[in-house]
């Protein structure tokens, strides 16, 4: 049984346009040099939701463009990057471009790729020219000190989906691909679940719309999100 993802598109677009309004109003109320934690967190969450929804429903251009905006917002909200008038103006212009991209996707058309490319370059410029603030002495000390061998750190992630996960439009493969973008990882099936199913004495009817398997991502290396924080994902 295949899931028609198109039935969820309208909800995604409605929520995304609402998120854009939140981002725009928040950026218009933001004063350079000052950070309202509640305001910038709301803007960041709206961008994060649009990025995640775009990836889930196959709008990769929306997801990739929003990811760059999200990176800039994340550095601003945790104090690694100052809030400047230039950064705010670039983000506001990016909201306009993102709105056009979503409108084109909703109408089944193509966005203005040249405009998208130009605005992406503006975001990259802000990220490159206004690098996150760090103390110069700490930088000099880091250069002078010999590099210490870092011990690999990672997470073991156990993923147990709900039985009806795929019936609600979720795709486990997209979740795994998203984790793969955070760092090196490998996937192992938990064999005990398979043995229990194979050895069942009663007749088992497997629905193609149900999840009956469990996966484990063993401890490898650290996987970090765009915010730099380690990620633990579990689902039952």
Q: Is residue 20 part of a domain?
A: yes
Residue 226: pLDDT band with limits 50, 70, 90: very low
**Residue among 32, 133, 36 nearest 92 (CA):** 32
The 10 Å Cβ neighbour count of residue 194 is: 13
The answer on pLDDT for 126 being more than 70 is yes
Q: Using CA atoms, how far apart are residues 64 and 54, in angstroms rounded to an integer?
A: 9
- How is residue 148 annotated by DSSP? P
Phi, psi of 147 (to 5 degrees): -70, 125
| Shared-domain flag, residues 102 and 22 | yes
Residue 213: pLDDT band with limits 50, 70, 90: low
Average pLDDT over residues 122-135: 73
Q: Is residue 144 part of a domain?
A: no
Q: What is the pLDDT of residue 92?
A: 96
Is the Cβ–Cβ distance between 91 and 73 less than 8 Å?
yes
| Shared-domain flag, residues 134 and 160 | no
Reported as a single tens digit per residue, the pLDDT across 150-183 is 555 566 676 667 666 666 667 777 777 777 777 7
pTM above 0.85, yes or no: no
| Shared-domain flag, residues 20 and 68 | yes
Domain end (from 105, 139, 173): 139
| Shared-domain flag, residues 164 and 55 | no
Q: What is the pLDDT of residue 46?
A: 95
Domain end (from 111, 139, 167): 139
Q: What is the pLDDT of residue 203?
A: 52
| Shared-domain flag, residues 17 and 101 | yes
| Shared-domain flag, residues 174 and 212 | yes
| Shared-domain flag, residues 173 and 119 | no
| Shared-domain flag, residues 80 and 132 | yes
Residue 231: pLDDT band with limits 50, 70, 90: very low
Q: What is the CATH number of the domain that holds 98?
A: 1.20.120.160
For the chain, strand residue ranges (E) read 157-159, 188-189, 215-217
Domain end (from 102, 117, 139): 139
Q: What is the pLDDT of residue 196?
A: 47
* Structural domains in the chain (count): 2
Reported as a single tens digit per residue, the pLDDT across 5-38 is 667 788 999 999 999 999 999 999 998 887 788 9
Q: Using CA atoms, how far apart are residues 30 and 83, in angstroms rounded to an integer?
A: 9
Q: Is residue 62 part of a domain?
A: yes
Reported as a single tens digit per residue, the pLDDT across 177-189 is 777 777 777 777 6
Q: Is residue 55 part of a domain?
A: yes
Q: Is residue 224 part of a domain?
A: yes
| Shared-domain flag, residues 131 and 176 | no
Q: Containing domain of residue 177, as a range?
A: 149-236
| Shared-domain flag, residues 209 and 96 | no
Q: What is the pLDDT of residue 115?
A: 96
| Shared-domain flag, residues 32 and 135 | yes
| Shared-domain flag, residues 19 and 126 | yes
Q: Is residue 180 part of a domain?
A: yes
Average pLDDT of the residues of the chain: 75
The answer on pLDDT for 1 being more than 50 is no
Q: What is the pLDDT of residue 152?
A: 54
Q: Is residue 34 part of a domain?
A: yes
């Amino acid at each position: 049984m295949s899931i028609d993802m198109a039935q969820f598109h309208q909800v995604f677009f409605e929520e995304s346009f609402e998120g854009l309004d939140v981002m725009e109003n928040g950026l218009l109320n933001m004063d350079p040099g000052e950070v309202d934690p509640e305001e910038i967190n709301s803007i960041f969450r709206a961008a994060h939701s649009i990025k995640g929804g775009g990836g889930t429903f196959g709008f990769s251009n929306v997801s990739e463009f929003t990811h760059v905006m999200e990176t800039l917002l994340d550095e601003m909200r945790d104090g690694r990057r100052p809030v400047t008038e230039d950064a705010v103006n670039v983000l506001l212009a990016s909201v306009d471009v993102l709105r056009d991209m979503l409108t084109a996707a909703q109408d089944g058309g193509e966005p203005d790729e040249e405009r998208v490319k130009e605005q992406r370059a503006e975001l990259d410029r802000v990220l490159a020219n206004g690098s996150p603030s760090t103390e110069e002495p700490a930088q000099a000390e880091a250069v002078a000190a010999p590099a210490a061998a870092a011990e690999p750190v990672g997470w073991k992630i156990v993923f147990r989906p709900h039985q009806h996960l795929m019936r609600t439009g979720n795709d486990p493969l997209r979740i795994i691909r998203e984790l793969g973008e955070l760092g090196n990882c490998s996937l192992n099936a938990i064999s005990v679940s398979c043995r229990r199913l194979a050895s069942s004495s009663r007749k088992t009817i497997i629905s193609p719309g149900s999840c009956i398997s469990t996966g484990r991502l063993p401890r490898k290396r650290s996987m970090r999100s765009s915010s730099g924080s380690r990620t633990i994902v579990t689902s039952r």
